[in-house]
Amino acid sequence: EIVRAMMSLLAASLARGHSGVRPLLVDRLADMLRLDLIPIVPSRGSVGASGDLAPLAHLACGLIGEGSILWHDRPAPPAIAFRAAGLEPIRLQAKEGLALLNGTHLMAACGVIALTRFDRILEAGMVAAAMSVDGCRASHGPLEPEIHEVRCQPGQIAVASKLRTLLEGSTIVEAHRENDPRVQDPYSLRAIPQVLGAVVDAAAAVRRVVSDELGAVTDNPLVFGAENPDQEVRILSGGNFHGMPLAIHLDLLRIAMTHVAGISERRTFWVLSGHDVHNPVTPYLAEDPGLQSGLMIAQYTAAACTNELQTLANPASVANISTSAGIEDYNSMGATSGLLALRSMELLRSVIAIELLVMAQALEHQRPNTSGHAIEAAHARIRAVVPALTEDRTPAPDIKAVERLIESGEIGGPNPE
């Protein structure tokens, strides 16, 4: 998936006409994608400046019939795969080798894929947060629009609006609207719009930078004026290969993901702890507390994933290591940031899946009252793949089943932006 994205981005960049290459290279990349000839590319080897040199070199080897290649997802010698597909390896001409190696296409590919996955996970995270509000018998008051409008933060306003929509029709909130002795809920329930709103705004900034990089010309040197016979051709050397715009924003994305996971895990912890005596749930949501452990260990898993996310959120872009005898003295480490973002997505998906699993069970304890119409629909989708917990069983298959719902986009709706 990453290599296919790299090939597409490389072709789009070369097609801009400033890299000094023949149209044949663009056509051949398109042919290889169409015929499912995909070079095998290692994930390590880029320092995020002078382009993603080593990974792109492996990609370029596929174009010239060297290196390793996958043909219809099976390893094959390049010469045999090309012959079977009816193609000939390319013989590169002046400037073409450099143009293939010198670009930000691994970083950008990681960014595109990470954002696509993040959109689905954040959608599910909104549903999980709303389900938690009713699963924990929390107040809907902190979602009132006036609170958010006076702060003027767009993400916060959008998240509060989405949560109100998801919870519309709830009878659970009506059941404790009057004579509730609790004054305020924990931050993880009361400040959902403020935390997830900041995440929405951060993701929008990342999306803008990654979108601008799609099809951007990021090799070096660049050629200008070649398309006009009456214009002087200029060859300019610069630094478009430097990945710092992507590196910083992919670092930001991982930090944002950590907050989505962190506040989710705290809500899971809160409902399982059974501390709130005004919420009719059992400790760990166990059918027979003391004899059974319920969903206790699921929270351990969420805690472990969240801790790993916190570790992975350490910014890669602040740790410079020089290369090329010091000429390349300030690198971005953007590829590291992008690869860490993809790993972080897997962990975040697990944390949100666990919250959904736990809060679906918490809603069972609120019956006959029901949550909002959208939340009850999500609850039904979860119950279609995971039955209610009536006795202890291993939670791993249930977590995986909910993860698949998240990955397929079956949990959630349009993301607020």
C-beta of residue 379 within 8 angstroms of C-beta of residue 360: yes
- How would residue 390 be classed by pLDDT, with cut points 50, 70 and 90? very high
pLDDT at site 11? 97
| Position 264, amino acid | S
E strand segments, 201-309: 222-224, 234-236
Q: Does the pLDDT at position 23 exceed 60?
A: yes
* Structure confidence by residue, pLDDT tens digits, 41-75: 999 999 999 889 999 999 999 999 999 999 988 99
Long-range contacts of 323-330 (CB under 8 A, 24+ apart): 323/47, 323/49, 323/50, 324/50, 328/47, 328/49, 328/50, 330/49
pLDDT at site 175? 84
Residues 6+ apart with CB under 8 A from 339: 43, 110
Sign of CA dihedral 178, 180, 182, 185: negative
Q: What is the per-residue burial (b if ≥16 Cβ within 10 Å, else e) of 61-82?
A: bbbbbebbbbbeeeebebeebb
C-beta of residue 17 within 8 angstroms of C-beta of residue 227: yes
CB atoms inside a 10 Å sphere around CB 300: 11
E strand segments, 48-107: 69-71, 74-76
CA nearest 92: which of 18, 165, 28? 28
What pTM was computed for the model?
0.94
pLDDT at site 185? 93
CA nearest 10: which of 222, 270, 219, 285? 219
| Position 229, amino acid | P
Q: What is the pLDDT of the chain when averaged over all its residues?
A: 95
- How would residue 413 be classed by pLDDT, with cut points 50, 70 and 90? low
pLDDT at site 81? 92
* Structure confidence by residue, pLDDT tens digits, 333-342: 999 999 999 9
- In a 13 Å sphere around the CA of 262, the CA atoms on its Cβ side amount to 17
Cα 105 from chain centroid (whole Å): 17
pLDDT at site 149? 97
More confident residue, 264 or 226: 264
* Structure confidence by residue, pLDDT tens digits, 231-262: 899 999 999 999 999 999 999 999 999 999 99
* Domains of the chain listed by start with CATH number: 2-103 (1.10.275.10), 107-408 (1.20.200.10)
Question: How many angstroms separate the CA atoms of 138 and 132, rounded?
Answer: 8
* Structure confidence by residue, pLDDT tens digits, 311-358: 999 999 999 999 999 989 999 999 999 999 999 999 999 999 999 999
> For the purposes of burial, counting CB atoms within 10 Å of the CB of 269, is it exposed (0-12), middle (13-18) or buried (19 or more)?
middle
Q: Does the pLDDT at position 416 exceed 60?
A: no
Q: What is the mean pLDDT of residues 197-202?
A: 98
